[in-house]
Amino acid sequence: MGLKEEIKKRRTFGIVSHPDAGKTTLTEKLLLFGGAIQEAGAVKSNKIKKSATSDWMDIERQRGISVATSVMAFDYSNHKINILDTPGHKDFAEDTYRTLTVVDSVIIVIDGAKGVEEQTKKLMEVCRMRKTPVIVFINKMDRPSRDSFDLLDEIESQLQIKVNPLSWPIGSGQSFKGVYNIYEKKLMLFGANEKLTEDNSIEFHDVNDSGIEEYIGNSANQLRDDLNIISEVYPSFSLEEYRNAIVAPVFFGSALNNFGVKELLDCFIEIAPQPLPKQSDTRLVDPFEDTFSGIVFKIHANMDPKHRDRIAFVKVVSGKFLRNFNYLHVRQNRMMKFSSPTAFMASKKSIIDIAFPGDIVGLHDTGNFKIGDTLTEGEIMNFKGIPTFSPELFKYVVNTDPMKSKQLAKGLEQLTDEGVAQLFTGQLSSRKIIGTVGALQFEVIQFRLLHEYGASCIFEPIQLYKTCWIKSSDKKALEDFKIRKIQNMAFDKDKRDLFLADSPYALQIAQEKFPKIEFYFTSEF
């Protein structure tokens, strides 16, 4: 099969939601349909020994939450599906934001009882900024849920995108009888205690067919009324508007009961975009180009703690990636070849010989890669759009076991390379400072340092409001600023200067007194 055919087969998407909306459960059920796993893991109870395939880190299994993006690939209906299951917890939002820079579309999961929640709004803002097409899956319809029309109105107003329901629920909670698939004109019957198959669907090309009563009784009239309202209020589905991120198709179902998931997947592979062009700092790169290019969007240390391996996740943007072929690491300006590139099923890896645009490849890394790095066949360019944000919470690192100083230094270096937190060093004190966007990240770092590196530490509070990257075209003004503010100066991991503002007032005064200094709150400048 040629390059064009392989690209057209691929669908690379992220699944995002507020915590506990059922995102990881939906991912499991999609994998079940793809035959990638035989049995879904339970994530509802920490006491249950089984855990979700996508939540493979020790701390994820203990806490019952996702703290890192998982990558999973499987084949379904002559398509190659690449799922990126992202953390829902706001403390790990930065990992999710980076993931959204490399997917071609997104499925947003919403709890039918809770509706649109705060984290969902933030994630939708990122999708809107990047004009990423989204599909909405309203989950947990087997539990008491809000009125479906109210949910659609809330999605439109809160997420600021037009919606178009492609399936419709018949009741909710104990009265939930199933879903009518508007897209395929099929009635799906719900049975909470049975494994659902295609035998549960009955085709009704005309909902006025009296045969519907035989299956859903008195709910048939309500369904007809709802479908009439839908046809009047919402225009026919437009593929172009969906792919241009103007309208979001909406599906209803219950991921836990495997209901409505197949309809979502079948429609998704039909309408979702294939791998899309990506902007670099020099030009727009088309996936159908013959020459390979790719971007590192994630780094993970110790995916296999026995081997202390570190993996760089590369999204193939154009051309073919080949095993044992020389590629240019643009930032380091050096050629590299990779003897054991891997494909993923969460923590399980298999060596591959070739990968195509849309695929995610894992490269064993000894410390050469940083998030945002570009690989090419020789062209000098860098892909854009993976910023590092200024953290919101800060703490000093205190080593509690001086005999393990090397392990602590290595652990901090590698874990902060992953992008879940940032590491700063005071220019005057040389003290190590960890900056994060959420409090839970400190707990994760402490846990992983102990269990993966054998290093123990505690964190001490530090009074900090913001870290700002600084630069100036006036070298004298820059040196003057650094001397005057030496107690508030630090280096990031790339030895770039940072100003540590301990209050909003201190930042404002610094900006006013030193007009020749430029202050940046993201590192992508």
Task: Read off the pLDDT of each residue in 169-189 and give the average, rounded to a whole number.
Answer: 88
> Which two three-digit tokens encode residue 87?
């953390």
Rounded to an integer, the average pLDDT of 441-445 is 87
Q: Which of 161-175, 182-196, 337-351 has the highest mean pLDDT?
A: 161-175
Percent of the chain with pLDDT over 70: 86
Rounded average pLDDT over 209-235? 88
Percent above pLDDT 90 for the chain: 54
- Regarding whether 489 and 369 lie in a shared domain, the answer is no
403 and 345 in one domain? no
Domain encompassing residue 311: 278-376
Q: Quote the pLDDT of residue 196.
A: 42
Question: What pLDDT sits at residue 421?
Answer: 85
- pLDDT-based confidence at 58, cuts 50/70/90? low
> What local confidence, expressed as pLDDT, does residue 42 receive?
32
With CA atoms as reference, report the closest residue to 155 among 259, 27, 247: 247
Question: Do residues 9 and 112 both lie within one domain?
Answer: yes
CATH of the domain at 408: 3.30.70.3280
pLDDT of the residue at 159: 95
Q: Which of 320, 349, 376 is the last residue of a domain?
A: 376
Cβ-contact 309, 359 below 8 angstroms: no
In a domain, 240, yes or no: yes
Shared domain for 88 and 215, answered yes or no, is yes
Q: Is residue 465 part of a domain?
A: yes
Mean pLDDT of 424-453: 89
| pLDDT for 318 beyond 90 | yes
Does position 398 have pLDDT exceeding 50, yes or no?
yes
Least confident of 58-62, 76-80, 238-242, 442-446: 58-62
Mean pLDDT of 50-78: 60
Is the pTM here over 0.75, yes or no? Answer: yes
Q: What is the spatial distance between Cα 429 and Cα 22, in angstroms, rounded to a whole number?
A: 46
Decide the pairing of beta strands 518-520 and 466-471: antiparallel
Q: What DSSP assignment string belongs to 133-187?
A: -EEEEEE-TTS----HHHHHHHHHHHH--EEEESEEEE--GGG--EEEETTTTEE
Q: Residue 103's pLDDT band (boundaries 50, 70, 90)?
A: very high
Shared-domain flag, residues 341 and 225:
no
In a domain, 55, yes or no: no
Claim to verify: residue 447 and residue 463 sit in the same structural domain: yes
Residues 6+ apart with CB under 8 A from 446: 457, 458, 459
Residue 50 placed within a domain? no
The verdict on 230 and 99 lying in the same domain is yes
Would you say residue 47 has pLDDT above 60?
no
Q: Are residues 456 and 342 in the same domain?
A: no
Q: What is the pLDDT of residue 475?
A: 93
Please indicate whether residue 89 or residue 47 has the higher confidence score (pLDDT). 89
Number of domains into which the chain is organized: 3
Domain membership flag for residue 35: no
